[in-house]
Chains A and B, each alone.
Chain A
Amino acid sequence: MFQTVDELIKMASEQRLSISEVMIRTEMETTGKSREAILSKMADQLLVMEQAVHRGIHEDIKSRSGLSGGDARLLKRYIEGGQMLSGSVLLGAVSNAMATNEVNAAMGTICATPTAGSAGVVPGVLFGLKNKLNPTHEAMVNFLFTAGAFGFVIANNASISGAAGGCQAEIGSATGMAAAAAVEMAGGTPEQSAHAMAIALGNMLGLICDPVAGLVEAPCVKRNAIGASNAIVAADMALAGIKSIIPCDEVIDAMYRVGRMMPTALRETALGGLADTKTGRELKKRIFGSAPSSSGVKEQ
């Protein structure tokens, strides 16, 4: 069992294992379940992710409020036009991430990674890199174990709740997890994974959770988009040999402490940030008015 990124990296290095293998063995030890059962459950999660991405890209998704849906498809068409300023791998990841969160906003089925509001980043990056790296199915499942290992440390030492720590705790965490997993899939070392995570999460510090009308739509869908691109850039930087000046565990601790300092208005209460702009307030009024949202429900 590992409590910190430092311990995770040491376990991997000393036993000459990948991060994903350390996570699989730890899971076997903690739950008493067989390797087959654990691998098969993760393959199920992967399938749910793939289906959500597919739906978001190929179906006409629209949320009940009308605030989100269709942007993943717009971006996909733009990529196919070939005139993009960045690259197809990066924008593909972004498009997949948005697809997942658009499905989520429309009350579709997703796999929380680590949360539903941040569910786009990890699968976005994974399926974005698929065309570039041609991973085996096993390698794709391992990507999720590596992402999970880093998320596990964040969740136990800081927080993965926007209500507790702001968006940095949700999409920030997802971005760090995806960056670390991308490094492993690309053939980097466990240390490089930790640096990628530290760079990615470090770049998301202070990010507030300010959902317009309290809905997991704006800015959430686009923040997943930026999270996915940030993760790939951080992974590339780490693979190039760039190191985070502040060690990964200290970045996680900083994220936790920044979250503690964040006022309630900026932690998923929809009382600050973009939610509390002129347009944000008008949208809330238009969507909910003064009437209850659902029949049969009284509000006091």
Chain B
Amino acid sequence: MKYRSVFDIIGPVMVGPSSSHTAGAAKIGRMARKLLGVRPEQAVVTLYGSFAETYRGHGTDVAIAAGLLDFDESSQQLPEALKIAEQVGMHVRFEADTRTPVDQPNTARISIAAGERQLELVGVSIGGGKIEITEVNGFSISLSGSNPALLVLHHDKYGAVAEVAGLIAQHEMNISYMEVSRQEKGQLALMIIQTDEEIGEELPSEISGLPNILNVAVLS
């Protein structure tokens, strides 16, 4: 089941004009921002499919910039995101790729950097403001949004996974699916943890405080 809650259908409350091209786009941008952990200095956004054809009309560019600024889809600042980005020195470049075929019509690839930090993420807006994440830093993942999920970027060190799992258990939450990927032994790794229960605000902030953890994002 892609949609879990009645509020996926009667909602979200958002700034117009499009749930998939505006609200969904803002969520993809914000997911990238959360995983980077800080406001990006540079961003290159490649848009595919219907995103590429209609992004200007739908304000998809504005919405992704808003997400990168950590605004949510109902933020009254969303329409001004490109101006605000310029003011705070966040350089965003959009590229419309109408040639590369994509599996799903509303796909965006976001590459962001701040100082030494870098992140690349591919997100898909599936309709009604719901998103899926299909790639993070070259890790091919499949986050359908069918369950709430935590994305945890961490150093590949002993105990990192156990400590996160321990915190989840303390919150009396059940892990329904878990996946750990890494680029090289001892380097950067990504945990994807799906839970049966909704993820509140406390758990992600507690996980962020653990040693070896870089950043945490929630897909709800």
The count of residues in chain B whose C-beta lies closer than 8 Å to any C-beta of chain A is 55
Which of B8, B59, B106 interacts with A155 by CB under 8 Å? Answer: B8
Q: Given that A155-B128, A214-B57 are known contacts, is A112 also in contact with B74, CB under 8 Å in the complex?
A: no
- Main secondary structure, interface of B, reads mixed
Complex: A32 Cα to B129 Cα, angstroms: 22
Complex: A33 Cα to B6 Cα, angstroms: 12
Which of B4, B17, B59, B85 interacts with A117 by CB under 8 Å? Answer: B17
Q: Given that A107-B17, A213-B57 are known contacts, is A148 also in contact with B197, CB under 8 Å in the complex?
A: no
Instruction: With a 10 A CB-CB cut-off, give which of A38, A292, A299 has the most chain B CB atoms.
Output: A299
Q: Given that A31-B5, A161-B127 are known contacts, is A268 also in contact with B16, CB under 8 Å in the complex?
A: no
B10 at the interface (CB under 8 A from A): yes
A151 at the interface (CB under 8 A from B): yes
Instruction: With a 10 A CB-CB cut-off, give which of B22, B50, B62, B76 has the most chain A CB atoms.
Output: B50
Minimum CB–CB distance from B121 to chain A (whole Å) comes to 20
Number of A-B contacts (CB under 8 A): 199
B1 at the interface (CB under 8 A from A): yes
Minimum CB–CB distance from B58 to chain A (whole Å) comes to 6
Complex: A38 Cα to B11 Cα, angstroms: 13
Which of B12, B86, B128 interacts with A160 by CB under 8 Å? Answer: B128
The count of residues in chain A whose C-beta lies closer than 8 Å to any C-beta of chain B is 71
> Which one of B30-38, B87-95, B108-116, B204-212 is at the interface?
B87-95
B171 at the interface (CB under 8 A from A): no
CB contact list, A112-137 vs B, under 8 A: 112-117, 119, 122
Minimum CB–CB distance from B159 to chain A (whole Å) comes to 30
* Cβ-defined contact, A151 with B79, below 8 A: no
A277 at the interface (CB under 8 A from B): no
Residues of B within 8 A of A (CB): 1-20, 22-23, 49-50, 53-59, 61-62, 74, 76, 78-79, 82-83, 85-86, 92-96, 104-106, 126-129, 197-198
Residues of A within 8 A of B (CB): 3, 23, 26-27, 30-33, 38, 41-42, 44-45, 48, 65, 103-117, 119, 122, 144-145, 147-149, 151-152, 155-156, 159-164, 169, 177, 211, 213-217, 264, 267-271, 288, 292-300
